[in-house]
């Protein structure tokens, strides 16, 4: 189907481009939301069909998709790093008051879909969540078409499919199958929020927070996956004894490994610790971008900053040479790599320019 193919290609381009978390709200609208609507065959340049800043009393909704002079879908857009949960009540209140059957709350990378006129709390009216970064693009494209394509919205098929999804949310089997998978991901990747929660709880008990790396190793060694992974036998592959160059794009965790060096934009740097990688990359970016380097202050974790002008904001601050900016060094290997990747993206560089040699 041509519509799905064009949408798959668009979603792939959005994912490959990276740097999503640094987009402004306007950039999110122009670079993600409107192109997706266009692929779904909404005439984005027809101001009678795709109405921007649609007025509702003294308030406004970012987009209203019209048919025969009446709104059929409301879309509220937020910044890429915005927490959507605190905005759903407002959107659904507007939708309910206007009798709009389908509503979308999105920050570009997450799309929350609602049936505003159904029963229950605002949260219970959410029937589906689309994640541009996490979910398979083929499935994403299919779901976008099912719920938001112009043809399906106008024919009523989108509402029927949405109502079916809402009924299926109570399917215990679905959760029984996917909760263990979600848990495995938290454990195997030493999830950032899980680390912070454990650190805070430990501090409540004994008065001190353990090091990030200590918690990560505890998570990985103490907990076993709830679902065993399939092991595939591969013949004629010898065990690698020497350091192996691994592109950062394809390795999810570096915990319990030792870094020996890294290559950035063709130049090799010898390091002996993961902290050395973080510090050296900060220095390289400072050298390249001068006063613009203070943009790194926008790189934050889910519960704490990674960079700050105030030493007290960080647990293990390190003053970056030639600046008044401190970087958090109490991070495990996996988190250090993610911070470095985000910093690379922030300055318009590609992650593929960084390779790590570890053992």
pLDDT at 62 > cutoff 80: yes
pLDDT beyond 60 at 170: no
- Are the CB atoms for 82 and 110 separated by under 8 Å? no
Residue reference for tokens 């009924």: 167
Local structure of residue 53 (DSSP, 8 states): E
Residue 75 is part of a domain; what is its CATH number?
Answer: 3.90.1570.30
pLDDT of residue 239: 37
Please tell me whether residues 165 and 265 are part of one structural domain.
no
Residues 186 and 119 in one domain: no
Q: 170, 188, 212: which is the final residue of a domain?
A: 170
Please tell me the predicted confidence (pLDDT) of residue 348.
Answer: 83
Distance, CA of 223 to CA of 206 (rounded, Å): 22
Q: What is the pLDDT of residue 246?
A: 39
Whole-number pLDDT of residue 296: 93
Rounded to two decimals, the pTM is: 0.53
Same domain, 178 and 166: no
Instruction: Give, in order, the Cα–Cα distances in Å from 119 to each of 106, 166, 233.
Output: 22, 11, 51
Is the pLDDT at 111 greater than 60? The verdict is yes
Least confident of 119-133, 185-199, 321-335: 185-199
pLDDT confidence of residue 329: 93
- In the chain, pLDDT over 70 holds for what percent of residues? 86
Q: What pLDDT does 247 receive?
A: 39
End-to-end distance of the chain based on CA atoms, in angstroms? Answer: 46
Structural domain contains residue 267: yes
Same domain, 20 and 149: yes
pLDDT for res 332: 85
Q: Long-range contacts for 202-210 (Cβ within 8 Å, ≥24 apart)?
A: 209/315
Mean pLDDT of all residues in 295-301: 88
Query: Would you state the pLDDT for residue 193?
Result: 80
Mean pLDDT, to the nearest integer, of 300-323? 90
Same domain assignment for residues 294 and 337: yes
Report which of 189, 248, 192, 253 is spatially closest to residue 223, judged by C-alpha positions: 189
Is residue 52 in a domain?
yes
| Domain tally, the chain | 3
| Residue 141 clears pLDDT 80, i.e. is over it | yes
Range of the domain at 85: 2-170
Last residue of a domain, one of 137, 153, 170: 170
Q: How confident is the model at residue 148 (pLDDT cuts 50, 70, 90)?
A: very high
**pLDDT category, 242, cuts 50, 70, 90?**
very low
Residue 236 lies in a domain: no
Q: Please, what is the average pLDDT of the chain?
A: 84
Q: Which of 90-94, 213-217, 256-260 has the lowest mean pLDDT?
A: 213-217
**Per-residue pLDDT at 183:** 78
Average pLDDT estimate for 241-245: 41
- For residues 322 and 210, state if they share a domain: no
**Domain contains 293:** yes
Could you tell me the pLDDT band of residue 29, with boundaries at 50, 70 and 90? very high
Q: How far is CA 349 from CA 17, 261, 337, 353, 356, in A?
A: 10, 20, 15, 8, 16
Other Cβ atoms closer than 10 A to 227: 10
Same domain, 223 and 264: no
**94/183 same-domain check:** no
Region 5-12: mean pLDDT is 92
Average pLDDT over residues 280-293: 93
Same domain, yes or no, for 260 and 196?
no
Span of 147-161, 223-237, 333-347 with lowest mean pLDDT: 223-237
Among residues 123, 145, 170, the one where a domain terminates is: 170
Domain CATH number, residue 304: 1.20.1380.10
Query: Quick one: how many helices (H) and strands (E) in the chain?
Result: 12, 13
Same domain, 14 and 158: yes
Q: Check whether residue 219 and residue 264 sit in a common domain.
A: no
Give the confidence band of 21 by pLDDT, cuts at 50, 70, 90.
Answer: low
237 located within any domain:
no
Does residue 238 fall inside a structural domain? no
Residue 64 has pLDDT above 80, yes or no: yes
User: Which range has highest mean pLDDT (20-29, 100-109, 241-250)?
Assistant: 100-109
Query: What pLDDT, on the 0 to 100 scale, is given for residue 232?
Result: 36
Q: Identify the pLDDT of residue 135.
A: 87
Identify whether residues 121 and 93 lie together within a single domain: yes
Average pLDDT over residues 33-54: 96
Query: What's the pLDDT at 209?
Result: 78
In a domain? residue 183:
yes
Taking residues 222-238, what's their average pLDDT? 45
Domain annotation covers residue 316: yes
At 215, the pLDDT band (50, 70, 90 cuts) reads confident
Residue 144's pLDDT band (cuts 50, 70, 90)? very high
For residue 107, is pLDDT > 80? yes
């Amino acid at each position: 189907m041509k519509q799905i193919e064009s949408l798959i290609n668009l979603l792939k381009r959005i994912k490959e481009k990276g740097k999503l978390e640094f987009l402004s709200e306007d950039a999110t609208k122009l670079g993600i939301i409107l192109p997706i609507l266009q692929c779904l065959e909404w005439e984005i340049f027809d101001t009678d069909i795709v109405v921007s800043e649609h007025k509702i009393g003294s308030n406004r909704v970012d987009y209203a998709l019209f048919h025969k002079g009446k709104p059929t879908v409301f879309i509220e857009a937020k910044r890429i790093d915005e927490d959507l949960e605190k905005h759903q009540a407002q959107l659904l209140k507007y939708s309910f008051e206007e009798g709009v059957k389908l509503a979308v709350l999105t920050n570009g990378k997450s799309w929350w879909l609602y049936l505003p006129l159904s029963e229950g709390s605002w949260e219970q009216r959410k029937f589906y969540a689309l994640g541009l970064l996490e979910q398979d693009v083929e499935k994403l494209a299919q779901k976008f078409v099912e719920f938001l394509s112009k043809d399906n919205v106008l024919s009523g098929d989108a509402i029927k499919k949405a109502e079916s999804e809402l009924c299926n949310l109570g399917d215990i089997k679905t959760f029984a199958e996917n909760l263990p998978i979600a848990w495995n991901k938290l454990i195997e990747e030493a999830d950032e929020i899980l680390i912070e929660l454990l650190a805070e709880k430990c501090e409540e008990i004994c008065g001190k927070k353990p090091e990030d790396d200590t918690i990560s190793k505890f998570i990985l060694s103490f907990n076993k996956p709830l679902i065993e992974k399939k092991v595939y036998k591969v013949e004629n592959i010898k065990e690698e004894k020497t350091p192996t160059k691994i592109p950062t794009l394809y390795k999810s965790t570096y915990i319990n490994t030792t870094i020996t060096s890294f290559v950035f934009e063709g130049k090799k740097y010898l390091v002996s610790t993961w902290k050395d990688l973080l510090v050296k990359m900060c220095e390289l970016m400072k050298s390249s971008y001068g006063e613009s380097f203070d943009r790194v202050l926008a790189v934050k974790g889910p519960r704490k900053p990674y960079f700050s002008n105030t030493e007290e904001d960080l647990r293990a601050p390190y003053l970056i040479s030639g600046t008044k900016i401190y970087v958090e060094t109490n991070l495990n290997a996996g988190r250090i790599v993610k911070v470095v990747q985000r910093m690379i993206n922030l300055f318009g560089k590609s992650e593929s320019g960084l390779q790590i040699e570890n053992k």
